[in-house]
Chain A
């Protein structure tokens, strides 16, 4: 993975010093609340219902075991001994004291981690495919470009005060696992007719109260033009994006109001002016790529026969393998998901003790690396098949082996009313109830791939509009109600969910999920997944059943 040199390190150390002084000035009354706000936000610090919340960046979801241990330490020393992984591969501390945040940032800086631009109206952390570099069918590993974009966007002097937040996602595999179509900019590594690798560029996707899928602005962009093209888009947006209404300020609205063709003309005209000056050198691409070379995979790894044997002997192991382990491009290697969705666990939460174990296991079995996924889980990307049983046993004792990846209980869920100052409704307790209702694993497997996403308000942090089942908390006269959508997807075949009907009271949410699932089971043809059934029959049959009784 990428290692900081003295320049990278100096920059984050200086950031800590800068923020320490900003915090000091705020506490001394030299900065008022309004002036301090954008400063703390650009350092990831929100003020929530109970306490501040600090969001740390995990560039393209990649962490070392050293970093994982530091996260555990910091959460014990400055917080309540756990952290929460988000849908953008980052993590959050839910209870840090405002005064200690500079110290926390200094601790993280010592292991090359930062909170820079993890919130605020600026270019946020670039996310990517959690299987980058290890999956089959990849055009190229997207992570070096993720790192190049991280550096370009970090402290970009022109784009620190955009109309609104700006998120970029990049993938190298046509199976889009980073929800690129619902990002402000989505980048796909593609090959053109001549066989050269470059980027397809999408712009103007987004979720929140106006979910929109991104539109193609350029079918093929040469690698050397990556940064100039991004800069051109950002400059056009910085000048043109609306600043009069924060709900109309995202680039998706700029694109909608001006039309993609007009935006393309503006961007291309801007780009022509700057592309030579900002050309990205091949030498720099190669330098960064040098940090993401393939590890030395053992050629004998595939000779192991214990993996097959243990699946026969231990059916719990077999079940975990079937659900939480996926293919690796190298024979004898596998990718293992670490589920942060154990039944009683708030989705995405992980304790300091668990993190310590994960760090040890990463050293022992996964070349010292851990990845975070946009579904709020972790994963080991390079496990020898012969090691999987030992790994599973250890994960199992830590409640990190719930075999539910991509099932209904692998729910994506925002912090909701329990933590978030913007929430209309709770989400975590409902997730728990849904978990309790669907605790029969065989039943879950029969339901197959079923993505449930639940957000506590219109901001849609849990991406409910692209959930197969989306659940959105709304406020009705001070009570918590929930709006359901069906048939959304954030993958290559992305679509926005359709409204099921009027909102549903809190007490009926879990029953509604059951009814939806029952209806699906009746309607499905053979092994048809939930999403396909909804696409085939539409929402009406579901609607009839759900609203039949009232």
Chain B
């Protein structure tokens, strides 16, 4: 499957493991429940390990484990569920997470600008057929007023 990563279309090399599925070789992501249950085994996984979070998960509890993951997948079950925008910002701004943060779920062209500002850098689009045209979404706006992950000072301090 193709995804967008760092504003480019790339082939995805991660496998999202269901909680029931057998461990597999290669890069895998697991749910928080599975991580909590099997973290000792998972910590020895040879390839990349990623964590999937939903907006209902207790983000603060996974902070001590962040170094174990090279990918964190944030779930957007519906376009309108904005909880994980806050998760992304906290992961970047407060908890200093430097790995890949990926948005998964109902992801459209129209959220890319906001998501990027919040520190998300890869995207599994809801409609992979239109992935090409979605790239334009990153450039919807050239500026933003706020302090964001990408722009650590507000517009007035940078430019005015």
Binding site for B on A (CB under 8 A): 5, 7, 10-11, 14-15, 17-18, 21-22, 25, 30-31, 34-35, 38-39, 121, 151-152, 154-162, 235, 238-239, 243, 273, 277-278, 281, 284, 287
- For B85, give its contact among A35, A238, A284 (CB under 8 Å): A238
B115 at the interface (CB under 8 A from A): yes
| Closest CB in chain B relative to A501 CB, distance in Å | 39
The 9 closest A-B pairs by CB, nearest first: A161-B82, A157-B117, A157-B114, A151-B145, A284-B156, A158-B85, A18-B140, A14-B141, A238-B86
| Closest CB in chain A relative to B142 CB, distance in Å | 6
29 A-B residue contacts at CB 8 Å?
A: A7-B143, A10-B143, A11-B141, A11-B143, A14-B141, A17-B140, A18-B110, A18-B140, A25-B109, A30-B130, A35-B79, A152-B146, A156-B145, A156-B146, A157-B85, A157-B113, A157-B115, A157-B117, A157-B118, A158-B86, A158-B114, A158-B117, A158-B118, A159-B85, A161-B79, A243-B83, A277-B152, A284-B157, A287-B160
Q: Which of B108, B136, B156, B160 has the most chain A CB atoms inside 10 A of its CB? A: B156
| Closest CB in chain B relative to A258 CB, distance in Å | 16
B80 at the interface (CB under 8 A from A): yes
Determine the distance from Cα of A277 to Cα of B115 in the docked complex, in whole angstroms.
Answer: 20
Contact in complex: B114, A160 (CB < 8 Å): yes
For window 72-125 of B, CB contacts with A under 8 Å fall at 79-83, 85-86, 89, 93-94, 108-110, 113-118
Determine the distance from Cα of A39 to Cα of B109 in the docked complex, in whole angstroms.
Answer: 11
Instruction: Find chain B residues with CB under 8 A from A155 CB.
Output: 114, 141, 144-146
Determine the distance from Cα of A17 to Cα of B155 in the docked complex, in whole angstroms.
Answer: 21
Number of interface residues of B (CB under 8 A): 38
Contact in complex: B146, A121 (CB < 8 Å): no
Contact in complex: A154, B94 (CB < 8 Å): no
Determine the distance from Cα of A277 to Cα of B86 in the docked complex, in whole angstroms.
Answer: 16
Determine the distance from Cα of A21 to Cα of B136 in the docked complex, in whole angstroms.
Answer: 11
- For B86, give its contact among A10, A152, A154, A239 (CB under 8 Å): A239
Instruction: Find chain A residues with CB under 8 A from B144 CB.
Output: 11, 155, 157
B70 at the interface (CB under 8 A from A): no
B44 at the interface (CB under 8 A from A): no
Determine the distance from Cα of A156 to Cα of B143 in the docked complex, in whole angstroms.
Answer: 12
B31 at the interface (CB under 8 A from A): no
Determine the distance from Cα of A238 to Cα of B86 in the docked complex, in whole angstroms.
Answer: 7
| Closest CB in chain A relative to B85 CB, distance in Å | 5
Instruction: Find chain B residues with CB under 8 A from A152 CB.
Output: 145-146, 154
Instruction: Find chain B residues with CB under 8 A from A235 CB.
Output: 86
Q: A35-B79, A155-B141, A278-B147 are in contact. Are A273 and B117 (CB under 8 A)?
A: no
Instruction: Find chain B residues with CB under 8 A from A21 CB.
Output: 136
Contact in complex: B82, A22 (CB < 8 Å): no
Contact in complex: B83, A238 (CB < 8 Å): yes
Instruction: Find chain B residues with CB under 8 A from A284 CB.
Output: 154, 156-157, 160
Contact in complex: A7, B155 (CB < 8 Å): yes
Contact in complex: B156, A287 (CB < 8 Å): yes
| Closest CB in chain B relative to A475 CB, distance in Å | 27
Contact in complex: A5, B160 (CB < 8 Å): yes
Determine the distance from Cα of A383 to Cα of B129 in the docked complex, in whole angstroms.
Answer: 60
Contact in complex: A281, B80 (CB < 8 Å): no
Determine the distance from Cα of A293 to Cα of B130 in the docked complex, in whole angstroms.
Answer: 50
B148 at the interface (CB under 8 A from A): yes
Determine the distance from Cα of A307 to Cα of B94 in the docked complex, in whole angstroms.
Answer: 62
Contact in complex: A273, B94 (CB < 8 Å): yes
Instruction: Find chain B residues with CB under 8 A from A11 CB.
Output: 141, 143-145
Contact in complex: A14, B118 (CB < 8 Å): no
Q: A35-B79, A238-B82 are in contact. Are A157 and B146 (CB under 8 A)?
A: yes
Determine the distance from Cα of A277 to Cα of B152 in the docked complex, in whole angstroms.
Answer: 8
Determine the distance from Cα of A278 to Cα of B143 in the docked complex, in whole angstroms.
Answer: 18
Contact in complex: A160, B159 (CB < 8 Å): no
Q: From B109, which residue of chain A is reached at the shortest CB distance?
A: A25
Q: A14-B140, A152-B145 are in contact. Are A281 and B157 (CB under 8 A)?
A: yes
Contact in complex: B80, A22 (CB < 8 Å): no
Contact in complex: A7, B113 (CB < 8 Å): no
| Closest CB in chain B relative to A397 CB, distance in Å | 44
Contact in complex: B145, A154 (CB < 8 Å): yes
For window 45-95 of B, CB contacts with A under 8 Å fall at 55, 79-83, 85-86, 89, 93-94
Instruction: Find chain B residues with CB under 8 A from A243 CB.
Output: 81, 83
Determine the distance from Cα of A299 to Cα of B53 in the docked complex, in whole angstroms.
Answer: 65
Q: A35-B108, A284-B156 are in contact. Are A158 and B89 (CB under 8 A)?
A: yes
Instruction: Find chain A residues with CB under 8 A from B152 CB.
Output: 277
Determine the distance from Cα of A35 to Cα of B156 in the docked complex, in whole angstroms.
Answer: 33
Contact in complex: B156, A38 (CB < 8 Å): no
| Closest CB in chain A relative to B130 CB, distance in Å | 7
Instruction: Find chain B residues with CB under 8 A from A239 CB.
Output: 55, 83, 86
Q: Which of B152, B154, B157 has the most chain A CB atoms inside 10 A of its CB? A: B154
- For B79, give its contact among A14, A38, A154, A158 (CB under 8 Å): A38
Instruction: Find chain B residues with CB under 8 A from A161 CB.
Output: 79-82, 85
Instruction: Find chain B residues with CB under 8 A from A14 CB.
Output: 140-142
Determine the distance from Cα of A396 to Cα of B142 in the docked complex, in whole angstroms.
Answer: 48
Q: From B149, which residue of chain A is reached at the shortest CB distance?
A: A157
Q: Which of A151, A161, A238, A243 has the most chain B CB atoms inside 10 A of its CB? A: A161
Determine the distance from Cα of A34 to Cα of B110 in the docked complex, in whole angstroms.
Answer: 13
| Closest CB in chain A relative to B116 CB, distance in Å | 8
Determine the distance from Cα of A162 to Cα of B86 in the docked complex, in whole angstroms.
Answer: 10
Determine the distance from Cα of A239 to Cα of B54 in the docked complex, in whole angstroms.
Answer: 11
Given contacts A157-B116, A157-B118, A243-B81, 13 further A-B contacts (CB under 8 A): A34-B79, A121-B82, A151-B145, A154-B145, A155-B146, A156-B146, A157-B113, A238-B86, A243-B83, A277-B147, A281-B157, A284-B154, A284-B157
Determine the distance from Cα of A35 to Cα of B125 in the docked complex, in whole angstroms.
Answer: 13
Determine the distance from Cα of A160 to Cα of B79 in the docked complex, in whole angstroms.
Answer: 10
Determine the distance from Cα of A477 to Cα of B104 in the docked complex, in whole angstroms.
Answer: 44
